[in-house]
Structure 1
Amino acid sequence: MSVVESVLARFPEQYRDAAIKHRELVKFAFVGGVTWVIDTVVFLVLKSTVLEPKPITAKVIAVLVATIVSYVLNREWSFRTRGGRERHHEAALFFVISGVGVAVYTAPLAISRYVLDLKVPGVSLLTQEIADFVSGQIIGVLAGMVFRWWAFRRFVFPDENARRRVPVVGD
């Protein structure tokens, strides 16, 4: 029994059936959570040590590390049976879409700050921080996840069962 099967065996049947039906989405969301933690940890470690005076550089490095891990985990686990592209083309599309994804999940924060003007001195520091959190970490992350889910399945890993191993007689 695989690790996934043993975890699913503990779920109530109705949730287990939904998780199995939407397993790519569940795996994709799990990979997103893992890479969010990686991004956060790498950023905080770099920003508080060797790149203390350069937080933007620390963030760029953290995003690159998380994106590389995301590609590997999504390719080999979330979308392991999907494909349809040569590996270099697939990787290039993954990174381009991830870059567009950054713009998608940054947009709500930019709208909150610069269109709705939810920043100090127009609002209190607490209001600014709540608005930043809701727009950046909730609305932005959800919008980016929806975009990347759609785009990865549509452009990066377009064909279902393209990499499913078919047993050969005598194998």
Structure 2
Amino acid sequence: MVEAVLIRIPQPYRDVAIQYRELIKFALVGGTTWVIDTAVFVLLKNTFLVEKPITAKVFAVLVATIVSYILNREWSFRTRGGRERHHEAALFFLISGLGVAVYTAPLAVSRYIFDLRVPEVTLFTQEIADFISGQILGVLLGMAFRWWGFRRFVFPDENVRRQVPKVPQA
């Protein structure tokens, strides 16, 4: 499927897409898991965990992380490896666990250092601050950390699993 999309991209953009294929796939997985994370976070924060936004965020990130492992291993980093599966999974969840701290830090700063929470601010301001700090800043920082950690520790070796077919030049 990826090759079918790549063949339709005009040159010189195709070469750039091929060069950064792994990063593009990682970003697409990140976008997918961002939607999952956002949906779970909003659902929990507005129902079961109204008074516990940090707990809601942690649960949302954990659900998204499980999906992320599957998609990243089987698609984004499908040619990378170098570790036994159980070591790879343990390192993935360790890096992702550290990523939870990175993801939640901006939300914690917003809520508990800047006091951007009711009654100090309006509910609308609190919700905007939560979204920006938790879903934008936190996700960007966490994604950068995870990209580095996954390539460095979880999937360190290139081309050890399946080979990527070459896209014919048009």
Q: TM-score, normalised by structure 2?
A: 0.78
What corresponds to 1:16 in structure 2? 14
Q: Report the residue type matching 1:77 in the other structure.
A: W
What corresponds to 1:35 in structure 2? 33
Deviates more, 1:15-24 or 1:142-151: 15-24
- Taking only the aligned residue pairs, the percentage that are identical comes to 75
Aligned mates of 1:4, 1:155 — CA distance in 2: 26
Name the larger-Rg structure.
1
Match of 1:132 among 130, 133, 147: 130
Match of 1:149 among 147, 150, 169: 147
Greater relative CO (CA pairs within 8 A, separation 6+): 2
Aligned mates of 2:40, 2:126 — CA distance in 1: 25
What corresponds to 2:95 in structure 1? 97
Gaps of 5+ in 2: 165-170
Report how far residue 76 of structure 1 moved.
1.6
What corresponds to 2:106 in structure 1? 108
Relative to structure 1, is the Cα distance of residues 149 and 113 closer, same or farther in structure 2, using a 3 angstrom cutoff? same
Checking the alignment, whether the CA contact within 8 Å between 2:38 and 2:135 is kept in structure 1 is no
Relative to structure 1, is the Cα distance of residues 108 and 42 closer, same or farther in structure 2, using a 3 angstrom cutoff? closer
Aligned mates of 1:61, 1:135 — CA distance in 2: 17
Deviates more, 1:26-35 or 1:58-67: 58-67
Gaps of 5+ in 1: 167-171
Does residue 118 of structure 2 align to residue 120 of structure 1? yes
Report how far residue 86 of structure 1 moved.
0.8
Report how far residue 53 of structure 1 moved.
4.6
- Provide the aligned C-alpha RMSD in A: 2.8
Aligned mates of 1:92, 1:85 — CA distance in 2: 10
